[in-house]
Structure 1
Amino acid sequence: MIIMRLQKYLAECGVASRRNAEELMKKGMVTVNGVTADKPGVKVSDGDKVMVCGKQVRQQTKKIYILLNKPIGYVTTSADNFGRKTVIDLIKNEINTRVFPVGRLDINSEGLLLLTNDGNIAYALTHPKYNIPKTYIVELDGAPSKWAIDKLKKGVLIDGAKTKPAKVKQLTNSAFEITITEGKNRQIRKMAQTIGFEVVSLKRVSIGLISLGNIPLGRWRHLTKTELNFLTGLTNPL
């Protein structure tokens, strides 16, 4: 008999990442054997009937890993209460397996987004302790000084906490390649605001060893064997 935390079970069912699964639980959208499960310590085992929004969910044995070039205007979520377009809309006609987006990429941003039903991989890619680098091409509404750029490199205070050091490569007066190892909500945009600028455009181009490449906007592909080996190495280190 396998016993695990409910949020881990939901991730393995392809419902959502562990973090987002906890949000579903808090909202009272998850039941176990007919009882609302809104506390993080709930555990489930073989034979338990788990339902999300009234629909039963089950663990999926076949894991799937997708790289999507997300366009602006799509919400990074599996479903949206406001009827907005979601990233799942871009793959649902071709992928029958339930998957969820890994990490954040806000509605006004574009670029590399991973989708999977593998909760362990999603956890490794988003948890700060793994220090997975994420690289973005960022256009600001002006040209920051060298002092401001150095400030971003060293870390800035956002939401009451200092960001980890970032790699910042200047491409033009107002365009930069920025690499961070965290995934705070709207982090790049908030970092820019601390030095007096707004982000005009933001595109994620890589996560760890996985690069966006030349895949067209709005299209997707399965990960390569090399990319899968990289992901596997995160959860099964030598």
Structure 2
Amino acid sequence: MPDKKTENPQNQENSKEEVRLQVFLAHAGVASRRASEKIILDGRVAVNGLVVTELGTKVSSKDKITLDGKELSLEEQKRYVLLYKPLGYVCTQSDEKGRPCAVDLLREKYSERLYNVGRLDMFSHGALLFTNDGDFAARLSHPSAEIEKEYVVESSLPLPRYLAEDFKRGIRVDGVFYKAKDAEEINSHKMRIVLVEGKNREIRRVFENAGVAIRNLCRVRIGNLELGQMEPGQFRDLSDWEVQGLLKLCKN
């Protein structure tokens, strides 16, 4: 669980305690603290009518805080949602190209502002977490957490004989080192891969480097959460036990 010293703006009414602006945004369900910092630097946040771009700015419950002109408030209900992201959906709050966003699949049920923890590119499908808990998101998404993500990858052509073993030992592509925690062939055209860091397009870059085109890439597990019998587009709330289980798996 987050450290007891973590700033918690939900107690501000009684304590009148001030917190950093990015902490407030995280607890208001805007984004993780790290992502909230960029939002502040981009000049999208105003405090009492004045745009603020200083990350050290402190705020309290008495301040009026807006994002893109819309007033924010602290969300009392924390949400933790597992979505089976379908193919063709992007992992952003909105898309300038008009592509469907994964979060849109959740908007009808949840009034809270939810954001994804980690990403899947639009040509991949599978398990994707959403939350409005900034501390939870920051802890899970940090590389030091080493949360396992399991993928099943299908190729158009037969897999190179030693690709799985090479991936486990580590492969350097264009100066970047990629290493799977585990990888094994299921058959000549299918491989199971477990990553703990998950660099940008890691699996695709390793396969492209080996001259193998990916036909299908699905993330089937995040930590203790499995897709099971879920279908693309389906989602469910995590139980308290599942949330605590995920946090216990974090090594940070």
TM-score by length of structure 2 reads 0.84
If you compute each CA radius of gyration, which structure gives the higher value, 1 or 2? 2
1:1-238 superposed matches below 5 A: 1-158=16-173, 160-233=175-248
Q: 2:44–2:68: 8 Å Cα contact kept in structure 1?
A: yes
- Bigger drift between 191-200 and 211-220 goes to 191-200
**Number of positions where the alignment pairs a residue of Structure 1 with one of Structure 2:** 237
- Taking the aligned partners of 2:233 and 2:147, their CA distance within structure 1 comes to 24
Once the two structures are superposed, residues 154-192 of structure 1 have per-residue CA deviations (whole angstroms, 9 ceiling, x without a partner) of: 222356432344310211212111110013222221222
Q: Report the CA distance shift for 1:71/1:34 in structure 2 as closer, same or farther (over 3 A).
A: same
Conserved? CA contact 2:160–2:210, under 8 Å: no
Cα distance per residue 1:2-57 (max 9 Å; x no partner)? 34333332222111223332332343222233333345444433333322111111
Q: Percent identity?
A: 38
- 8 Å Cα contact 1:65-1:222 kept in structure 2: yes
Q: 2 CA distance for matches of 1:109 and 1:48? A: 42
Q: Which segments of 5 or more consecutive residues in structure 2 lack a partner in the other structure?
A: 1-15
Q: Secondary structure at the match of 1:98?
A: coil
Q: For structure 1, list consecutive stretches of 5 or more residues without a partner in the other structure.
A: none
Native 8 Å contact 1:76 1:105 kept in 2: yes
Asked whether the 8 Å contact 2:146–2:197 carries over to 1, the reply is: yes
Residue aligning to 2:4: none
What TM-score do the two structures reach when normalised by structure 1?
0.88
- Separation in 1, partners of 2:139, 2:73: 22
Closer, same or farther: CA 196–60 of 1 in aligned 2, 3 Å: same
